[in-house]
DNA sequence: ATCTCCCGCCATGTT
DNA sequence: AACATGGCGGGAGAT
């Protein structure tokens, strides 16, 4: 029971508990944090003092059944959670403690023991959930949220040591950054996409994919003959990764850890391991990584030589720790891979899809200007405060769906192909949704409040419109942002160019329609043919007990599960065939090393890990449904998709194109640039600012410091959005009448800004006060504005560019997440705004041919990007992609933009 | 038996 | 020296 001993010495002078306490529930996720509140919090947060920790944990963890229940409940229900928090944790806690104490006294040994929380209840995952519940996924940017470790530990009644585990992982994702001793800044998921993108890039550069495959191959080839170590070693050497590539923590230039302490160990463990682990998911095709492989790779990098069991074991332990946190973040999910050797634990990526560098490049065309983001946010907050509920009624605007009905079969096919990708986004959606709902609640009438699972309804359906869609990259798919039927949230769907004209709302219905089975089969076949990898049988176990075995048609399976649409007998037949094939292959595997890529593991859809809390049932289930994957297929598919993406497939390829439409309700990432600590954040300029600085000033300015200087694009007024972020801004209804352009700052909702993270390029441009003509031109040129489309007129200003005065603009942007790009539909409105003297923001441009703007920084950024202060390496690998960013990027810029499709509703 | 992974000792860094 | 961080692995609950 000396538990508290080490981890948290009690008396810390830091962080007076008072401030912290008051701050405590800091930014409640659900509650729309108002500026004032945040400000208060900030001001309150005192010096970094560690509150004398009254850690009576030893006395009896508050982990009484009651506590547990509360925790679980709160974890499951944001509303409840918030309520709880508001209610005052202190009180409840003390009560609990007391109760517990009593319990302890009255129950003797055994009994007391039983009353104690089970191991599960103390899991890191659960703890992480609690931790995350304390902060909003997308905190308002200027109002940073501080995290006082001591306080958190105390409130969560855990040792500080545990908090470190969580924080370290969060740090690896740049969701938090260390400000000082005992203090961290909470960034939420604002930087997540960028971070992931960067990680993916680094992972690619480090050839993790190959390494993984090599390892798998070895295993596959010599089932048990060689020890993993040797395999690993060999693999590593073969690939030529590692030794030198020992990667250190990836951070952004200017964002390095300030504390030496952190630096000292930063290249070690948890943080780095976490990043690497994530990289593995991002680079591997079926985004499933077994612990074993991950451990080997991680160990391999460190010390290829001494790979002993204990080390391996330790690595596994750490991976579990990390996995728990990542699971809580809903980035991964535990699954089991069943192969001949047996079942082995693995994790499946369920986070947002991350475009590869190359892929992203094309898509990154548009980046939301930081200032816009801020504006959006400002608007939002403003709205909350000032604006009257305009249209309280939440209508499920299914609008735009006219198209859905018309949804071409092609689309469906595409959807099928990419469905898996959607899964990943679902989580994001969920998150975004939450945010949205919060916002909505604030803005709209109570009725409009939605549950986290549901999409939020916009205050006024009519007002809410679909945002424009920005064409994305080379990818032929055009993202279309549509209002969510259920919610007022718009989201973007990527359609193939050919499909572009059709806009659909992301809705269940949509999904269903979009996924025809037939296509899947065809695709599959093609893939199979092409694939060099032998199929192996894979099985996915699901929580519900379904076990699917199959190698092919994972799509079908998936489809079936996801959409419930099709389960064609045919597909099953195919499946069986595939299985047979696989078996044959397996039998021959020894003889054929060439086939060797041991991809085929059976993946089982796993039931939700016991630990994981299923907060959002819908989401989870959705994700789960889509879980079944057949590695091979996946892989193949992925490859194809990838290829296509890179090549920028021609339009006719639409079938295969992966529609990544993940309608993801997204929070607007505001200012990545502003973000204090994102190490991975590519945006060059941002990094230059110290955290503190960034927060304070920029917010008000509403303008990102980043922008202008860096890119000058002929087209002013346009803000390039990066597709990579996939974030679309959802623009809530405006209070503006169609004709009327008078948008009061307060009334301005959000601008449809597409946010993207240009990892390499950091192309964030934002122009202010673009001339309308220019905008029009640009839009047309880009194809954003369909020739026939009439942009204006629409009373509902969906995508409203944000007014420069951003300060008062409310942001709703958080709702939508665009994967690739968005098109702003209401250009007219935008123009209007501008005309009115408001500066308009949003319009994607970078890709426009005419805009050659290439950030000079890109190069710099790239270099720094991965630079790991502590480490040597880092990225020697960058070299692996010779063409790296700059050039490629430039080229990209020059590439004529493909036509953007705007769905007009 | 294996999988998970909590727990907390203790080394390392910071203040 | 006291405190902050966090590497690490024993060992026990969960399966």
Strand runs labelled E in A581-705: 602-604, 664-665
pLDDT (0 to 100) of residue A300: 72
- Nucleotide with C1' nearest the A345 CA: B3
**Distance, Å, A155 CA → C1 C1':** 28
Residue A130, pLDDT above cutoff 60:
yes
- Nucleotide with C1' nearest the A121 CA: B6
pLDDT (0 to 100) of residue A265: 55
pLDDT (0 to 100) of residue A329: 92
Statement: the CB of A787 is under 7 Å from strand B: no
pLDDT (0 to 100) of residue A810: 30
Please state the rounded mean pLDDT for residues A827-840.
29
Find the residue closest to B15 using CA and C1' atoms.
A181
Residue A254, pLDDT above cutoff 90:
no
The angle formed by the CA atoms of residues A311, A316 and A320, to the nearest 5 degrees, is 150
pLDDT (0 to 100) of residue A152: 87
**pLDDT tens across A626-666, in order?**
333 333 333 333 333 333 333 333 333 333 333 332 323 23
Residue A166, pLDDT above cutoff 90:
yes
Most confident of A337-351, A605-619, A811-825: A337-351
Query: In this structure, are residues A660 and A477 in contact, taking their beta carbons and an 8 Å threshold?
Result: yes
**pLDDT tens across A179-221, in order?**
888 888 888 888 888 888 888 888 888 888 888 888 877 776 6
| pLDDT top residue among A351 and A481 | A351
Q: What percentage of chain A exceeds 70 in pLDDT?
A: 20
Cα separation, A18 vs A45, in Å, equals 9
What average pLDDT does the structure give for chain A? 44
Cα separation, A142 vs A671, in Å, equals 9
Cα separation, A757 vs A820, in Å, equals 10
pLDDT (0 to 100) of residue A43: 31
Structure tokens at A246: 């020992």
Residue A331, pLDDT above cutoff 80:
yes
Please state the rounded mean pLDDT for residues A212-239.
58
Query: In this structure, are residues A746 and A802 in contact, taking their beta carbons and an 8 Å threshold?
Result: no
Most confident of A311-325, A607-621, A682-696, A776-790: A311-325
**In sequence order, what are the residues at sequence separation of 6 or more whose Cβ sits closer than 8 angstroms to the Cβ of residue A213?**
A597, A598, A599
A 212-271, residues with C-beta < 7 Å of strand C: 261-262, 265-266, 268-271
Nearest C-alpha neighbor of A386 from the set A65, A35, A669, A781 = A35
Query: In this structure, are residues A278 and A172 in contact, taking their beta carbons and an 8 Å threshold?
Result: yes
Statement: the CB of A65 is under 7 Å from strand C: no
Statement: the CB of A150 is under 7 Å from strand C: yes
Q: What percentage of chain A exceeds 90 in pLDDT?
A: 4
**pLDDT tens across A275-320, in order?**
889 989 998 878 888 888 888 888 875 545 556 788 889 999 999 9
Break chain A down into helix, strand, coil percent, rounded to 5: 50, 5, 45
Structure tokens at A356: 């590869």
Sequence-distant contacts of A109-116: CB under 8 A, at least 24 apart: A115/A64, A115/A65, A116/A61, A116/A63
Structure tokens at A763: 């192309």
**Distance, Å, A118 CA → B4 C1':** 13
pLDDT (0 to 100) of residue A686: 30
Please state the rounded mean pLDDT for residues A320-328.
92
Sign of the C-alpha dihedral, residues A372, A373, A376, A378?
negative
Least confident interval from A74-83, A158-167, A194-203, A471-480: A471-480
Residue spans of the domains in chain A: they are 124-221+265-349
Buried b (16+ CB within 10 A) or exposed e, A826-859: bbbbbbbbbebebbbbbbbbbbbebbebbbebbb
Structure tokens at A206: 């480090």
Burial class (CB in 10 A: 0-12, 13-18, 19+), A22: middle
**In sequence order, what are the residues at sequence separation of 6 or more whose Cβ sits closer than 8 angstroms to the Cβ of residue A300?**
A211, A232, A233, A235, A236, A241, A242, A307
pLDDT (0 to 100) of residue A102: 54
Q: Kindly report the bases of strand C lying within 7 A of a protein C-beta atom.
A: 2-11, 13-15
Statement: the CB of A555 is under 7 Å from strand C: no
Residue A262, pLDDT above cutoff 50:
no
Query: In this structure, are residues A271 and A870 in contact, taking their beta carbons and an 8 Å threshold?
Result: no
pLDDT (0 to 100) of residue A790: 31
Nearest C-alpha neighbor of A368 from the set A659, A144, A203, A141 = A141
DSSP for residue A613: -
A 501-540, residues with C-beta < 7 Å of strand B: none
Residue A344, pLDDT above cutoff 50:
yes
pLDDT category at A326 given cuts 50, 70, 90 is: very high
Statement: the CB of A116 is under 7 Å from strand C: no
Please state the rounded mean pLDDT for residues A770-782.
36
Global confidence as pTM: 0.43
**Distance, Å, A170 CA → B6 C1':** 20
């Amino acid at each position: 029971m000396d538990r508290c001993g080490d981890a948290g010495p009690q008396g810390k002078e830091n962080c007076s508990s008072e401030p912290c306490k008051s701050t405590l529930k800091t930014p409640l996720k659900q509650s729309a944090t108002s500026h004032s509140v945040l400000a208060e919090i900030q001001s309150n947060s005192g010096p970094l003092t560690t509150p004398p920790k009254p850690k009576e944990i030893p006395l009896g963890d508050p982990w009484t059944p009651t506590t547990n229940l509360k925790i679980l409940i709160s974890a499951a229900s944001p509303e409840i959670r918030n309520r709880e928090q508001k209610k005052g944790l202190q009180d409840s806690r003390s009560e609990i403690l007391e109760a517990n104490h009593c319990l302890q006294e009255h129950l003797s040994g055994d009994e007391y023991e039983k009353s104690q929380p089970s191991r599960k209840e103390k899991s890191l995952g659960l703890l992480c959930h609690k931790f995350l519940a304390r902060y909003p996924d997308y905190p308002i940017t200027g109002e940073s949220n501080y995290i006082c470790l001591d306080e958190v530990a105390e409130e969560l009644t855990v040792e500080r040591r545990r908090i470190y585990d969580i924080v370290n992982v969060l740090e690896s994702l740049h969701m938090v950054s260390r400000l000082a001793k005992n203090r961290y800044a909470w960034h939420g998921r604002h930087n997540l996409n960028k971070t992931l993108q960067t990680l993916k890039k680094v992972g690619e550069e480090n050839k993790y994919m190959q390494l993984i495959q090599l390892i798998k191959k070895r295993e596959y080839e010599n089932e048990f003959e060689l020890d993993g170590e040797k395999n690993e070693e060999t693999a590593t050497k073969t690939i030529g990764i590692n030794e030198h590539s020992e990667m250190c923590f990836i951070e952004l230039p200017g964002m390095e850890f300030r504390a030496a302490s952190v630096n000292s160990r930063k290249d070690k463990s948890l943080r780095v391991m976490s990043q690497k682990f994530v990289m593995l998911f991002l680079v591997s095709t079926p985004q499933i990584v077994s612990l074993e492989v991950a451990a080997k790779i991680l160990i391999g990098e460190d010390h290829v030589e001494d790979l002993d069991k204990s080390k391996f074991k330790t690595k596994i332990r750490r991976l579990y720790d990390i996995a728990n946190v990542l699971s809580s973040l809903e980035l991964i999910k535990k699954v089991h891979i069943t192969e001949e050797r047996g079942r082995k634990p693995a994790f499946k990526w369920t986070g947002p899809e991350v475009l590869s560098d190359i892929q992203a490049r094309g898509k990154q065309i548009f980046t939301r200007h930081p200032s816009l983001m801020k504006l959006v946010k400002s608007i939002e907050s403003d709205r909350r405060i000032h604006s009257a509920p305009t249209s309280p009624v939440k209508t499920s605007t299914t609008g735009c769906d006219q198209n859905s009905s018309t949804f071409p079969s092609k689309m469906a096919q595409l959807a099928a192909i990419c469905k898996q990708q959607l899964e990943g986004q679902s989580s994001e959606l969920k998150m975004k949704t939450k945010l949205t709902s919060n916002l909505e609640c604030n803005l709209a009438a109570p009725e409009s409040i939605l549950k986290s699972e549901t999409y939020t309804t916009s205050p006024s359906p009519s007002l809410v419109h679909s945002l424009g869609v920005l064409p994305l990259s080379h990818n032929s798919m055009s993202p279309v942002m549509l209002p969510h039927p259920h919610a007022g949230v718009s989201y973007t769907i990527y359609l193939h160019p050919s499909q572009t004209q059709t806009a659909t709302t992301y809705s269940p219905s949509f999904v269903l329609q979009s996924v025809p089975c037939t296509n899947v089969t065809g695709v599959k076949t093609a893939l199979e043919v092409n694939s060099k990898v032998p199929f192996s049988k894979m099985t996915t176990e699901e929580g519900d007990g379904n076990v699917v075995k199959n190698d092919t048609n994972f799509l079908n399976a998936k489809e079936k599960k996801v959409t419930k649409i099709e389960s064609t007998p045919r597909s099953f037949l195919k499946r069986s065939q595939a299985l047979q094939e696989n078996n044959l292959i397996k039998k021959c595997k020894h003889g054929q090393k060439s086939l060797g890529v041991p991809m085929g593991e059976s993946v089982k859809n796993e039931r939700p890990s016991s630990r994981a809390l299923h907060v959002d049932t819908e989401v989870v289930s959705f994700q789960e449904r889509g879980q079944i994957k057949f590695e091979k297929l996946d892989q193949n598919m992925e490859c194809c998709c990838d290829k296509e993406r890179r090549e920028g497939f021609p339009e006719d390829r639409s079938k295969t194109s992966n529609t990544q439409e993940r309608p993801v309700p997204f929070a607007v990432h505001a200012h990545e640039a502003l973000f204090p600590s994102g190490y991975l954040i590519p945006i060059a300029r941002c990094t230059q600012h110290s955290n503190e600085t960034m927060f304070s000033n920029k917010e008000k300015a509403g303008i990102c410091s980043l922008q202008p200087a860096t890119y000058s694009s002929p087209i002013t007024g346009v803000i390039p959005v990066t597709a990579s972020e996939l974030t679309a801004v959802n623009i809530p209804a405006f209070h503006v009448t169609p004709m009327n352009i008078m948008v009061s700052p307060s009334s301005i909702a959000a601008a449809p800004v597409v946010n993207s993270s240009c990892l390499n390029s950091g192309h964030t441009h934002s122009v202010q006060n673009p001339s309308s003509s220019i905008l029009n031109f640009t839009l047309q040129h880009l194809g954003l504005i369909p020739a026939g489309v009439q942009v204006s007129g629409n009373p509902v200003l969906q995508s409203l560019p944000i007014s420069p005065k951003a300060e008062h603009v409310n942001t709703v942007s958080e709702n939508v997440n665009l994967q690739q790009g968005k098109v702003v539909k209401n250009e007219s409105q935008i123009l209007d705004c501008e005309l009115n003297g408001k500066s308009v923001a949003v319009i994607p441009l970078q890709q426009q041919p005419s805009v050659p703007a290439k950030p000079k920084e890109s190069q710099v950024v790239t270099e720094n990007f991965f630079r790991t202060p502590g480490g040597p390496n880092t990225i020697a690998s960058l070299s692996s992609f010779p063409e790296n960013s700059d050039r490629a990027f430039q080229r990209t810029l020059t590439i004529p933009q493909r036509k953007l499709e705007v769905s007009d509703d």
